[in-house]
Amino acid sequence: MHVALPHTNLFPALNKKQRKRYEKKLAARVGVLPPKIPAHHHAHDITPASYNREGLPEGGIADATESVDQRIEVTKSARQARRKAIKESNFLRGL
């Protein structure tokens, strides 16, 4: 697996051998990371019930804004997934 360095010259002192070693190290680091799970596959407690609130005051603007932000994130993620699936099906249909 070849990981390309950015186009900017961030490491001018590295020769070809050192760059290859550095790229190999970056590739190994990326391989260790767990796969990213889309937000619409997470279990969200968007608007916590009163029995599920730990020390939070009843109601509040902060809870409302947080739940709206979570809904927006989930909606965006789901839309991206749907668009990706549509593009893939259209591509496969064209073959």
pLDDT tens by residue, 37-66: 888 888 766 666 666 566 656 666 777 788
Q: Is residue 66 part of a domain?
A: yes
Q: Is residue 1 part of a domain?
A: no
Q: What is the pTM of this model?
A: 0.51
Q: Is residue 3 part of a domain?
A: no
For residue 30, pLDDT beyond 60: yes
- Model confidence at 82, in pLDDT bands (50, 70, 90)? very high
Q: Is residue 91 part of a domain?
A: yes
User: CA torsion 35→39→43→44, rounded to 10°?
Assistant: 140
Give the number of other CB atoms < 10 A from CB of residue 41.
10
Q: Is residue 6 part of a domain?
A: no
Q: Is residue 7 part of a domain?
A: no
Expressed as residue numbers, the domain containing 21 is 13-49+59-95
User: CA torsion 82→43→73→67, rounded to 10°?
Assistant: 140
Give the total number of structural domains in the chain: 1
